[in-house]
Amino acid sequence: MKYDVIIVGAGPAGSSAAYYLAAAGRKVLVLEKETFPRYKACAGGISIKALPLLDFDWQGVVEAKPRTLVFFYRSNQSFKVEWKEPMVYMVMRDRFDSLLADRAKKAGAEIKFGNPVEGVFIDPGSISVKTKTGFSYRASYVLGADGANSRVARSLNLLKNRRFGTAVAVEIQHDGGSGNHQEIRVDCGLVPKGICWQFPKTGQTSTGACTFRQGVNIYDGIDRFLTREGMEKKIILRKGHRLPADGGERKRLTAYRAMLLGDAGGLVDPLTGEGIYYALKSGFLAARAIIEKNTPDQVTALYQESIFRELFPELHAASRLTALYYRLTGVCFKLVQINPRLARALCDAMCGNHTYQKLIDTELKILKLVKEFSGNYISFKRQL
Ligand SMILES: Cc1cc2nc3c(=O)[nH]c(=O)nc-3n(C[C@H](O)[C@H](O)[C@H](O)COP(=O)(O)OP(=O)(O)OC[C@H]3O[C@@H](n4cnc5c(N)ncnc54)[C@H](O)[C@@H]3O)c2cc1C
């Protein structure tokens, strides 16, 4: 049987594409290697910029809506930013991803769980995928929404020159009484070229750390962070995962009749590690390209162009800030700490209340220097 679209992976990218395509009457098959609900290593923070893409009732899976963001530098110095309205919604990914998959299913998508895809093959006039369970399926298009280790990207040779950081998610049991369960905490100096975080949930706290430097023992930083927070003895689960680190770079996300979405395409904010919004949005953009255009060339061209136009400018601006931040972490922290207006503007940009581009262009003159410096730094690195 031939499908209109086969989607590999039922995370936010795959399920969102599946929903839009099925709702538009396309015959959609989603192949997911795990059985849902499944744990996904993720802090589960969904910024308000994702809200237009979640235009259905998903509040039942929201665990907390913190309004305070506290930043530390190597456990000591700190500053706080508070909002009147929630800027980030907290979810556990097992429940959130199941809800998105259910929505796609209700719209008419067929989802086969426990079906890891082994490879993608280009056939005359179509494209097919083979699963490790020995089945083969054909379609007009394949969407690779299979995460940072994308098998689809590798099959199509689209993973060359990609860069990755390392992240660890640590789930902590909280006792309901003590501790901070209504604020987000971020430590900027405990892990080299990375951060540690603490996100409040119901009954537990999602903590973790990431680093974009090779060879760093990330567990040292996270252990110090947990000790400071008095959480080292309450660990429920620890799980590492790759984090795409090339979000600000233009790269090809399409080949023949295939497109890469979300983490599979490296679409992650390099400053915050936020990827759920980019996964949902790329799912929407891929579905829109398939629905609006007729030929594979037109579809893939529209998708690639939409990514460059609608997602790339923000990812690129974030990567400029990131280049500076990781070079001069202590100085940047101090600069933001002594300047509440800048602190708020930065947090607003990170949460999507306005753009990084606006932050760089208008907030303070020093950030224009940041733009120049980090732009030069990126082009210098590219020349190496
Ligand atoms: C520790 C950590 C913390 C994070 N915290 C945040 C956060 O707070 N907020 C945020 O926005 N982002 C966060 N991210 C990033 C976020 O998790 C990802 O960007 C997001 O999950 C990307 O969604 P996706 O649908 O592209 O991929 P995924 O969510 O990775 O989904 C891919 C799906 O594909 C399936 N799959 C994989 N291979 C195959 C195969 N061969 N065949 C079939 N199925 C397959 C997987 O089982 C999975 O279900 C974090 C990441 C990490 C590692």
Query: In the chain, where are the structural domains located?
Result: 2-57+92-162+247-314, 65-87+164-244, 318-383
Q: Which residues, other chains included, contact 302 with Cβ-Cβ below 8 Å and sequence gap of 6+?
A: 288, 289, 292, 293
- Cβ–ligand 1 distance for 43 under 6 Å, the answer yes
Question: Of 66, 125, 114, 128, whose CA–CA distance to 91 is shortest?
Answer: 66
- pLDDT tens sequence across 178-202: 445 589 999 998 999 999 999 999 8
How far is the C-alpha of 67 from the C-alpha of 89, rounded, in Å?
A: 10
Instruction: Check pocket membership of 244 for ligand 1, CB cut-off 6 A.
Output: no
Same-fold call for 2-57+92-162+247-314 versus 65-87+164-244: no
Q: Which residue has a Cα nearest atom 16 of ligand 1?
A: 275
Angle between helices 340-351 and 329-337 (to 10 degrees): 110
CATH 3.30.9.10 applies to domain 65-87+164-244? yes
176 within 8 A of 61, measured Cβ to Cβ: no
What are the phi and psi torsion angles at 98 (to 5°)? -65, -40
Q: Is 40 in the pocket of ligand 1 (CB under 6 A)?
A: yes
The C-alpha atoms of residue 345 and residue 348 are separated, in whole angstroms, by 5
Atom of ligand 1 nearest to the CA of 117: 42
Q: Is the CB of 299 under 6 A from ligand 1?
A: no
- Which stretches of the chain score pLDDT less than 50? 177-179
Residue with CA closest to ligand 1 atom 17: 42
The closest residue, in CA terms, to atom 29 on ligand 1 is 11
| The pLDDT value given to residue 372 | 62
Residue found by looking up tokens 């995928």 in the block: 129
267 burial type by CB count under 10 A (0-12 exposed, 13-18 middle, 19+ buried): buried
3-class DSSP string for the chain: CEEEEEEECCCHHHHHHHHHHHHCCCCEEEECCCCCCCCCCCCCEEEHHHHHHCCCCCHHHEEECCCEEEEEECCCEEEEEECCCCCEEEECHHHHHHHHHHHHHHCCCEEECCCCEEEEEEECCEEEEEECCCCEEEEEEEEECCCCCCHHHHHCCCCCCCCEEEEEEEEEECCCCCCCCCEEEEECCCCCCEEEEEEECCCEEEEEEEECCCCCCHHHHHHHHHHHCCCCCCEEEEEEEEEECCCCCCCCCEECCEEECHHHHCCCCCCCCCCHHHHHHHHHHHHHHHHHCCCHHHHHHHHHHHHHHHHHHHHHHHHHHHHHHHHCHHHHHHHHHCCHHHHHHHHHHHHCCCCHHHHHHHHCHHHHHHHHHHHHHHHHHHHC
CATH architecture under which domain 2-57+92-162+247-314 falls: 3-Layer(bba) Sandwich (3.50)
Q: Which atom of ligand 1 sits closest to the CA of residue 152? A: 41
pLDDT recorded at residue 16 = 98
> Among 263, 267, 284, which residue has the most ligand 1 atoms within 8 Å of its CB, making it the best to mutate?
263
Alpha carbon 328 to chain centroid, angstroms:
24
Which tokens in the block code for residue 206?
A: 């999602």
The minimum-distance atom of ligand 1 relative to the CA of 282 is 26
Query: Rounded to the nearest whole angstrom, what is the distance from the C-alpha of residue 359 to the centroid of ligand 1?
Result: 28
Question: Which residue lies with its CA nearest to atom 33 of ligand 1?
Answer: 9
In angstroms, the CA 30 to CA 318 distance is: 32
Q: Rounded to the nearest 5 degrees, what angle is found at the Cα of 254, between the Cα atoms of 1 and 267? A: 115
